[in-house]
């Protein structure tokens, strides 16, 4: 994840906005709202009124601005990596990804397509950061070649802990279809689940003492979810679906540095009894999980 200040992030978003306009995507969308929010913070910082603007904001606007930072960083990181690897992100994918309310707290089942698609872009971006060349926009959601094999990834976001098992089985069913259609015994499947809205529905901020504490706090959250749902994970019977990737991103405040930032983490869990454990360990190391 890039470390960008407000001004740098606004410049990155402006560059993406120019690219979107060139593609014919000039209508208002939540990323343009995010860009405006961060530009407002940059101006306030320049004028020495950043603390005051935080006091003046109502709860809804403060919430929107915090998530503007999270989603903008994630979007910029992913698109930069995908561009570097010459990976195509089609107009149709970007058009879907830009939908939905700027305030994540207001998202529901009728407006979640945008962030669902953005999660697919983020997963592809992680692979691209590692020098891989992912493809997205079809079935499976994302796939890439790794260690002479093809990794098929189906991506899901969950809004409640009760939905975790349902989404895992839903993705596993889709991967079973994808792997059957591929007709290549070397291909294997990975379920990717965003659990961010379990940890934070959009109305909280993680407060931690130092930046070094982020990894440990995120790891505990993911480990607790894995432990709670481990028995269900073992029920994924298809032998070529070998693991589950769990991802979290949330706004955070680092007390020692008086810094607002993004806490983000991902873990690849190998399903016990499946082959290719060594392959998953190598993949996790390659994409720095």
Instruction: Quote the pLDDT of residue 37.
Output: 92
**What's the whole-number average pLDDT of the chain?**
91
Q: What is the pLDDT of residues 182-202, one digit of tens each?
A: 989 999 999 999 999 998 988
Q: Is residue 8 in some structural domain?
A: no
Please report whether residue 182 resides in a domain: yes
Residue 55 lies in a domain: no
Does residue 152 surpass a pLDDT of 80? Answer: yes
The percent of residues above 90 in pLDDT, for the chain, comes to 68
Say what the pLDDT of residue 169 is: 95
| Range 125-162 burial, b when 16+ CB lie within 10 A, else e | bbbbbbebebbbbeebbbbbebeeebbbbbbbbbbeee
Q: How many domains does the chain have?
A: 1
Q: Is residue 82 part of a domain?
A: no
pLDDT value at residue 81:
96
Is residue 124 included in any domain, yes or no?
A: no
79 within domain boundaries: no
Q: Is residue 102 part of a domain?
A: no
Mean pLDDT of 169-179: 96
Domain assignment of residue 53, yes or no: no
Q: Is the pLDDT of residue 261 over 90?
A: no
What per-residue confidence (pLDDT) applies to 55?
75
Q: Is the pLDDT of residue 54 over 80?
A: no
For the segment 236-249, the average pLDDT, to the nearest whole number, is 93
The pTM (predicted TM-score) of the whole model is 0.94
For residue 151, the enclosing domain spans: 139-289
């Amino acid at each position: 994840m890039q470390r960008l200040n407000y001004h740098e992030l606004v410049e990155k978003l402006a560059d993406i906005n120019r690219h979107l306009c060139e593609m014919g995507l000039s209508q208002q969308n939540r990323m343009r709202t995010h860009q405006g929010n961060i530009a407002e913070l940059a101006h306030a910082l320049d004028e020495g009124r950043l603390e005051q603007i935080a006091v003046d904001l109502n709860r809804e606007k403060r919430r929107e601005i915090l998530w503007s930072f999270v989603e903008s960083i994630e979007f910029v990181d992913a698109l930069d990596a995908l561009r570097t690897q010459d990976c195509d992100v089609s107009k149709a994918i970007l058009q879907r990804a830009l939908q939905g309310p700027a305030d994540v707290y207001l998202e529901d089942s009728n407006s979640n397509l945008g962030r669902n698609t953005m999660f697919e872009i983020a997963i592809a971006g992680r692979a691209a950061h590692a020098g891989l060349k992912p493809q997205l926009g079809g079935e499976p959601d994302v796939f890439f070649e790794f260690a002479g094999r093809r990794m098929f990834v189906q991506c899901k976001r969950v809004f409640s802990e009760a939905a975790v098992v349902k989404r895992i089985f839903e993705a596993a069913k889709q991967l079973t279809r994808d792997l059957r259609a591929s007709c290549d015994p070397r291909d294997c499947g990975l379920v990717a689940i965003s659990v961010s809205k379990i940890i934070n529905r959009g109305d909280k901020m993680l407060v931690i003492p130092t930046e070094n504490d982020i990894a440990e706090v995120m790891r505990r959250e993911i480990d607790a979810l894995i432990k709670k749902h481990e028995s269900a994970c073992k029920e994924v019977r298809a032998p070529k679906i070998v693991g589950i990737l769990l991802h979290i991103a949330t706004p955070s405040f680092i007390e020692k540095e008086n810094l607002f930032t993004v806490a983000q983490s991902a873990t690849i869990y190998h399903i016990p009894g499946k082959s290719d454990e060594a392959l998953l360990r190598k993949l996790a190391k390659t994409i720095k999980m």
